[in-house]
A and B are shown apart, each in its own frame.
Chain A
Amino acid sequence: MERARPTEASRHAEFEALYERHSREVWALVYARWLNADVAQDIMQEAFLRLWKQWETGEAIHNPRGWLLRVARNLAEDHAKSSFRRNGTHPPQLMNGLRGQSPLPSERLEREETFGQLRDVLGQLSEADREILTLRYALDYNANQIAEVLATTATAVHMRLSRARQRLAERLAAQGVVEFP
């Protein structure tokens, strides 16, 4: 990033644009690691905070997206070692991060049950499978966009996504989830 003495306001605006462009990707990759929306949000914000500190020192970061994704992956790994993780404090599995448009209680219960089962099955998949599924369905990315984030080819993304979906479908069927609310 080459910056020619930007003003304070323009620097803020530039950084906000960067945040708007990449924060969801960062969140998605961390979510794919931990399947925890709160942890993903915390780590995403920490990654951007670190980038901001670098930004303030005037140090040039030529690929902020790559930098952010790398830092977020490292932070997600470090999270495994933290005391919070060791203590095993998790938010309630079925209720975590669920926000709807006030469906009926029975419908909500059914949906939350299915989401809970889906979360369990996602947890059984590999991290690579979860990454590709999260980028595809959380961010609605196409094969080229996913390939860019994961530093691979669109053909590989097609193949990997298809296999990940296949594995997910088989495991859901094995758990008795054959219909969706």
Chain B
Amino acid sequence: MKPLQPASFDQGPGGDAPDGLDRLLARFFRATMPDPWPVWKAPSRDPLPVGRVSSRRLLSRSRTALAASLLLLLGGLILLGGRFTAPTLPVSRDAIGDTADKPDPRTGGPHRPAPKPGAEKSHTSEGGLSSSRRP
């Protein structure tokens, strides 16, 4: 145990009389440095065969997954395409909304569609035509 004193360079580890600070620093760094000192090992050039196998496996797996997903996509397209094609069978009149012969639920009489303004004009023109038929 020695009181701390500022010392010169010459009193360091290589000098004559190292003081307390020199000893403390030397001990601190000695304790801090790796012991034993790590040995250099040159990295091997070739990757491990295990790595090669696993990378090959990975590649084949990803290819299989890609093929499966493509098949699924194609299958889905075919199924959906078959469902939404245009109908070829004849459609019943109900399906196209033709209710001309059905009784009107409000009047009890036969259902008449509401006359359109254009349709009335055509009647008038028909009248005109009929009047034109007059001699």
Residues of A within 8 A of B (CB): 12, 15-16, 19-20, 23-24, 27, 31, 37, 41, 45, 48-49, 52, 56, 96-100, 111, 114-115, 118-119, 133-134, 136-138, 140, 142-143, 157-158, 161-162, 165-166, 168-170, 172-173, 177-181
Contact = CB atoms under 8 A, between A and B. Distances in A.
Contacts of A20: 40
A180 to B, nearest CB: 5
Given A27-B33, A173-B4, 18 more contacts: A15-B40, A15-B42, A31-B32, A52-B43, A96-B32, A98-B31, A111-B27, A115-B28, A118-B24, A118-B25, A119-B28, A137-B25, A161-B12, A169-B5, A169-B21, A178-B3, A179-B1, A180-B20
Most A-side CB within 10 Å, residue of B2, B24, B32, B33: B32
Given A118-B28, A137-B28, A165 B1 contact: no
Nearest 7 CB-CB pairings of A with B:
A138-B29, A137-B25, A19-B40, A169-B6, A137-B29, A97-B32, A180-B24
Contacts of A178: 3-4
Contacts, number: 103
B12 A23 contact: no
B9 A181 contact: no
B2 A98 contact: no
Given A115-B31, A177-B4, A178-B3, A23 B14 contact: no
Interface in B34-67: 34-35, 37-38, 40, 42-43, 45
Nearest to B22: A137
B15 to A, nearest CB: 10
B73 to A, nearest CB: 39
B13 interface: yes
Nearest to B25: A137
Given A12-B42, A114-B24, A133-B25, A179 B3 contact: yes
A158 B32 contact: no
Interface of B: 1-9, 12-14, 20-35, 37-38, 40, 42-43, 45
Contact of A179 (B20, B28, B31): B20
Contact of A165 (B6, B26, B27): B6
Given A15-B40, A161-B9, A173-B4, A37 B33 contact: yes
Contacts of A99: 31, 35
Given A16-B40, A118-B24, A100 B4 contact: no
Contacts of A31: 32
Contacts of A23: 37-38, 40
Contacts of B37: 23-24
A180 B23 contact: yes
A134 to B, nearest CB: 7
Contacts of B1: 179-181
Contacts of A16: 40
